[in-house]
C-alpha cells in the first residue's frame, strides 16, 4: 500500500497545491511555526500526564516526522476525505486518523496564532486590532456552510435554514478590501439566524473614519462613527432610478472583494462541503483555521508579487 509522505510532495508544486493549498515554499514557512507549536503541545501534555515510562518509549507513531503531520492535517482540511480514506492514504486506521485530526487541528491553530494570521474573535477588541493597520476600507458579509442533518428533532429545527433549504451553520466575516484578509470572524451560529442579528448580538467595534461596505441583508445596521455603504433596495411596486442603479453597481464592484475572500477561505473543502464532524465546537475551530490559512496564503503571495515587481 502506497502511503503519502512529505517526501512525495515537496518537489511537486502542483501536487502540493492540490493536497494542501500551499506551495512548497509556503509549506516550509508554515512548518517552522507548526514544529514550535507541536513542541509546546508535547511539553504541556508531558507536564499534565503521570508517565509510566520515559519520553520516547513505546510504539512509534505512524506520522513520525513533523513534516508528515503537517501534510496530514493540511490534506484533511484541503480535500476533506472520509476519515477511513484519510487513514488508508496515510497508513493508519480510521480511529487513529480521527485522533490525529483533532490533535493536529489544535496544533495548526496554535501555529497560525504564533504567526498572527488568525482573525479576531472578540467583537469588542476588533477596533484595536484594525487600528494597528492603515486600512479603513472594510467589507462585512455572512457566509453559510451546510452540515449533516442532526438526528435530534430540536436540533433539526434549530439548524434548518429556510433560505438554503438545508441544515447549515453561519459566520459573519469582516475583511480588509485592499489587503483581502479576514480581520474578524464571529462565533458559529445556526444557519437560520439572520446576518444582522449576529451583528446585534456580537457588535463589532471599528476605528474612527472607517468605511464599511455591506449588502442589503444588513439593512439598518450602522455602527457609530462608521461610513456605511450598502446598495439601495428597490421600493415595493416601484423602480430604482438610473442614478440609484449606478450607485448600487459601484458598491457591488467594491464589495465583490468580500465574496472573493470567502471563496479563498473555502479553498479548504472542510468549510465548503457538507460538514460531517460531530465533535462539539469543531465546526467553529475549522472555520477559524480556514480563515487563518487564507490570511497566510494572501500574505505570502502578496509578498512574492512585490518582490517580483521590484526585480523587474
- Tens of pLDDT, residue by residue over 36-53, are 999 999 988 776 666 566
Query: Is pLDDT at 255 greater than 70 in this prediction?
Result: yes
Single residue among 90, 114, 138 that ends a domain in this structure: 114
Indicate if 52 and 134 belong to the same structural domain: no
Indicate if 177 and 266 belong to the same structural domain: yes
Single residue among 82, 114, 146 that ends a domain in this structure: 114
Indicate if 156 and 103 belong to the same structural domain: no
Give residue 122's pLDDT band: very low, low, confident or very high (50, 70, 90): very high
Handedness of CA 13, 18, 22, 27 (dihedral sign): negative
164: in domain: yes
Give the rounded distance of the alpha carbon of 203 from its chain centre. 20
Q: Which domain holds residue 218?
A: 123-310
Handedness of CA 292, 293, 297, 300 (dihedral sign): positive
Indicate if 137 and 106 belong to the same structural domain: no
pLDDT of residue 44: 83
Indicate if 296 and 207 belong to the same structural domain: yes
203: in domain: yes
300: in domain: yes
Indicate if 208 and 106 belong to the same structural domain: no
Single residue among 114, 134, 169 that ends a domain in this structure: 114
Indicate if 66 and 167 belong to the same structural domain: no
Indicate if 36 and 81 belong to the same structural domain: yes
Q: Using a CB cutoff of 8 Å and minimum separation of 24, what contacts does 213-221 make? A: 213/137, 213/138, 213/139, 213/140, 213/177, 213/251, 213/254, 213/255, 213/258, 214/139, 214/140, 214/141, 214/255, 215/141, 215/255, 217/142, 218/140, 220/196, 221/196
pTM, two decimals, is 0.93
76: in domain: yes
Indicate if 36 and 165 belong to the same structural domain: no
Give the number of domains in the chain: 2
Indicate if 185 and 102 belong to the same structural domain: no
Most confident of 40-49, 60-69, 200-209: 200-209
pLDDT of residue 55: 60
1: in domain: no
92: in domain: yes
Query: Is pLDDT at 56 greater than 80 in this prediction?
Result: no
pLDDT in tens, 256-303: 999 999 999 999 999 999 999 999 999 999 999 999 999 999 999 999
pLDDT of residue 311: 78
pLDDT of residue 236: 87
Query: Is pLDDT at 82 greater than 90 in this prediction?
Result: yes
Indicate if 97 and 138 belong to the same structural domain: no
CA separation (Å) from 200 to 3, 194, 206, 215? 49, 10, 14, 16
Average pLDDT score, the chain = 92
Indicate if 163 and 286 belong to the same structural domain: yes
Mean pLDDT of 128-132: 93
Amino acid at each position: 500500500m502506497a502511503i503519502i509522505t512529505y517526501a512525495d510532495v515537496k518537489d511537486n508544486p502542483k501536487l502540493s497545491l492540490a493536497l494542501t493549498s500551499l506551495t512548497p515554499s509556503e509549506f516550509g514557512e508554515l512548518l517552522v511555526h507548526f514544529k514550535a507549536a507541536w513542541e509546546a503541545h508535547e511539553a504541556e501534555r508531558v507536564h499534565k500526564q503521570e508517565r509510566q515510562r520515559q519520553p520516547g518509549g513505546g510504539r512509534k507513531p505512524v506520522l513520525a516526522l513533523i513534516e508528515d503531520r503537517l501534510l496530514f492535517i493540511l490534506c484533511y482540511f484541503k480535500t476533506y476525505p472520509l476519515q477511513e480514506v484519510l487513514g488508508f492514504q496515510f497508513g493508519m486506521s480510521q480511529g487513529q486518523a480521527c485522533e490525529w485530526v483533532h490533535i493536529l487541528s489544535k496544533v495548526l491553530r496554535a501555529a497560525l496564532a504564533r504567526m498572527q494570521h488568525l482573525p479576531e474573535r472578540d467583537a469588542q477588541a476588533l477596533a484595536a486590532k484594525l487600528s494597528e493597520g492603515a486600512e479603513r476600507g472594510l467589507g462585512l458579509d455572512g457566509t453559510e456552510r451546510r452540515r449533516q442533518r442532526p438526528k435530534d428533532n430540536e436540533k433539526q429545527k434549530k439548524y434548518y435554514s429556510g433560505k438554503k433549504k438545508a441544515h447549515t451553520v453561519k459566520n459573519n466575516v469582516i475583511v480588509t478590501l485592499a489587503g483581502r484578509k479576514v480581520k474578524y470572524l464571529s462565533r458559529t451560529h445556526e444557519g437560520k439566524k439572520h446576518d444582522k442579528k449576529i451583528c446585534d448580538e456580537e457588535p463589532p467595534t471599528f476605528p474612527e473614519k472607517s468605511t464599511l461596505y455591506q449588502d442589503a441583508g444588513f439593512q439598518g445596521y450602522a455602527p457609530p462613527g462608521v461610513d456605511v455603504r450598502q446598495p439601495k433596495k428597490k421600493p415595493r411596486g416601484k423602480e430604482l432610478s438610473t442614478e440609484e442603479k449606478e450607485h448600487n453597481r459601484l458598491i457591488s464592484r467594491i464589495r465583490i472583494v468580500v465574496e472573493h475572500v470567502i471563496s479563498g477561505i473555502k479553498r479548504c473543502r472542510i468549510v465548503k462541503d457538507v460538514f460531517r464532524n460531530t465533535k462539539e465546537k469543531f465546526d467553529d475551530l475549522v472555520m477559524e483555521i480556514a480563515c487563518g490559512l487564507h490570511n497566510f496564503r494572501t500574505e505570502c503571495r502578496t509578498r512574492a508579487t512585490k518582490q517580483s515587481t521590484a526585480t523587474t
